[in-house]
Chains A and B, each alone.
Chain A
């Protein structure tokens, strides 16, 4: 038990440190601009007075480390600064969008994870059969497809040809849950397909890895039933790699969600971030970038913690 607690604390500290370093990087990236932010935004023909006033508004007259601590402190209090393009507080723009993004990602994960893990395990158990080969070819193709290809095929089929699902995923607070689910069905399927393909391949590889280890062979040679070998011997040991696979794929989900949101004009954080990059609205990019990166780090952290807890070798130290 002591082992697990020690590892958990170490991992928590590491995750916390990573978030701090990432926030520094995001902050410093803007600092590295040639000239400074005020000049870049206002352009060359701005008078020195306007530049000065604008600098004061953005607090550019303070030294960097003071501004960094200010920015991070504001972040923790929920004050993300002001957008330069929309002239509105960023927290107003982001809060609702972030919950929409998490909603889409969570629904996609809830669909993808169970199907992918079960199919991956089946493919590993029935290795080199026709079933396995079909799964291998289908997943390889889906990995090779860019998200928007799948998305447009789904739109062409289900929104344009058969007219069953909407091609634009618009959701609002006044909608009931099933209405929301109905309108995000195509983006959700797109995301799930991509993530599932990755997850199935990795699950299959992880299970095959466990099945080929010596203690499984030993259990078989002892004459144990196949089912017992799988449930009692293989399953506990493959839990940890499979959880790792799931976590890794939450990363694909976060990256994929940005593109899927753009395709389906879904009011999420990813779309806002892409728009802000094009407009060079740096405060919004910084804020949404930090939120995405922190979510990613936290997901990875959770996965590591789960895999520490679920690893029988760590649970019963010699």
Chain B
């Protein structure tokens, strides 16, 4: 009920954001039902203009662009979600650990994270991918590591504030173990700021994956993926064919949607009235 009330008070910008996200999730979940063709099915000539048969035309190999876009939503969003969850799991766990244990654990973990954060993100990813090779697995691993450093910073700071409160002290005196402290005392109280951060990190991860796929170092063909689709079709733009703009616009569309929701969340949690 609280959720419904919150939703009713939401500004129009957040509602647009929610609609955008729901459309994308719907496309991702029901991809095989929505599409007439298969993900990698060759259906027509290359780079056809939009028509009744092919709503958004065809791509550089003659596959239906609309179908590729819908399946692209499925693949890209799924991989971005997995990566973000992984980053949050690792990052917040380490952050809580550092805050609860303090001392050497905190010092070593924090310095390690500092070093990773001194790298420009894309350069770090490029160096790692050149060593381990390209593919979906390495992609998820390296991006979640980069995102986890930012999550670590936030969750450590939040947990530090909670850790000094009486109820944590009480639990400690009761003799509770560190896992209990993390799970029952720190996590529930650290959740609101982490949720807002989740949206921000999702956008970061999502754009990062799109960029790497666009550079040809992310998700590999023939899997439909928005960043890769822009790359594959980029040659068309000089002939005045707008095909590569569709997947690029899809990326922009979803990111705006998530950002609008995050903005609203940040606004609520900052407690400002206007």
User: Which residues from chain B contact A304 at a C-beta distance below 8 Å?
Assistant: none
User: Is the contact region of chain B dominated by helix, strand, or loop, or is it mixed?
Assistant: helix
Q: Decide if A149 touches B248 in the complex (CB within 8 Å).
A: yes
Number of interface residues of B (CB under 8 A): 44
Please name the residue on chain A nearest to B240 by beta carbon: A160
CB of B215 to closest CB in A, whole Å: 5
User: Which residues from chain A contact B260 at a C-beta distance below 8 Å?
Assistant: 140
CA distance A55 to B123 in the complex (A): 27
User: Which residues from chain B contact A254 at a C-beta distance below 8 Å?
Assistant: 120, 122-123
User: Which residues from chain B contact A293 at a C-beta distance below 8 Å?
Assistant: 118-120, 123-124
Q: A146-B211, A263-B234 are in contact. Are A274 and B259 (CB under 8 A)?
A: no
User: Which residues from chain B contact A251 at a C-beta distance below 8 Å?
Assistant: 120
Q: A141-B256, A144-B203 are in contact. Are A273 and B126 (CB under 8 A)?
A: yes
Q: Decide if A156 touches B242 in the complex (CB within 8 Å).
A: yes
User: Which residues from chain B contact A156 at a C-beta distance below 8 Å?
Assistant: 237, 240, 242, 245
**A103 located at the interface, meaning its Cβ lies under 8 Å from any Cβ of chain B in the complex:** no
User: Which residues from chain B contact A147 at a C-beta distance below 8 Å?
Assistant: 211
CA distance A30 to B130 in the complex (A): 9
User: Which residues from chain B contact A285 at a C-beta distance below 8 Å?
Assistant: 126-127, 130
Contact of A32 among B131, B134, B211, B251 (CB under 8 A): B131
Interface residues of B in 171-196 (CB under 8 A from A): none
Q: Decide if B118 touches A297 in the complex (CB within 8 Å).
A: yes
CA distance A281 to B131 in the complex (A): 9
CB of B201 to closest CB in A, whole Å: 14
Q: Decide if B217 touches A146 in the complex (CB within 8 Å).
A: no
User: Which residues from chain A contact B259 at a C-beta distance below 8 Å?
Assistant: 140, 143-144
Query: B247-274 CB contact bits vs A (8 Å, 1 = yes)?
Result: 0110110011001100100000000001
Q: A128-B274, A145-B252, A255-B123 are in contact. Are A282 and B214 (CB under 8 A)?
A: no
Number of interface residues of A (CB under 8 A): 50
Q: Decide if A29 touches B126 in the complex (CB within 8 Å).
A: no
User: Which residues from chain B contact A32 at a C-beta distance below 8 Å?
Assistant: 131
Q: A152-B237, A160-B237 are in contact. Are A277 and B211 (CB under 8 A)?
A: no
User: Which residues from chain A contact B129 at a C-beta distance below 8 Å?
Assistant: 277
User: Which residues from chain A contact B51 at a C-beta distance below 8 Å?
Assistant: none
Interface residues of B in 129-150 (CB under 8 A from A): 129-131, 133-134
CB of A170 to closest CB in B, whole Å: 14
Interface residues of A in 1-58 (CB under 8 A from B): 18, 21-22, 25-26, 29-30, 32-33
**B65 located at the interface, meaning its Cβ lies under 8 Å from any Cβ of chain A in the complex:** no
**A153 located at the interface, meaning its Cβ lies under 8 Å from any Cβ of chain B in the complex:** yes
CA distance A156 to B207 in the complex (A): 22
**B115 located at the interface, meaning its Cβ lies under 8 Å from any Cβ of chain A in the complex:** yes
Contact of B240 among A143, A149, A161 (CB under 8 A): A161
CB of B135 to closest CB in A, whole Å: 13
CB of B242 to closest CB in A, whole Å: 7
Q: Decide if B251 touches A258 in the complex (CB within 8 Å).
A: no
16 sampled A-B residue pairs with Cβ under 8 A: A25-B119, A128-B274, A140-B256, A140-B260, A144-B203, A146-B210, A146-B252, A148-B211, A149-B251, A153-B245, A156-B245, A160-B237, A274-B215, A277-B126, A286-B127, A292-B123
A-B pairs, 9 with minimum CB distance: A144-B255, A149-B248, A285-B130, A277-B130, A144-B256, A255-B122, A289-B127, A292-B123, A145-B252
12 more A-B contacts (CB under 8 A) besides A149-B248, A161-B240, A274-B216?
Answer: A140-B256, A144-B259, A145-B255, A146-B207, A152-B248, A160-B238, A258-B126, A259-B215, A278-B217, A281-B130, A285-B126, A285-B127
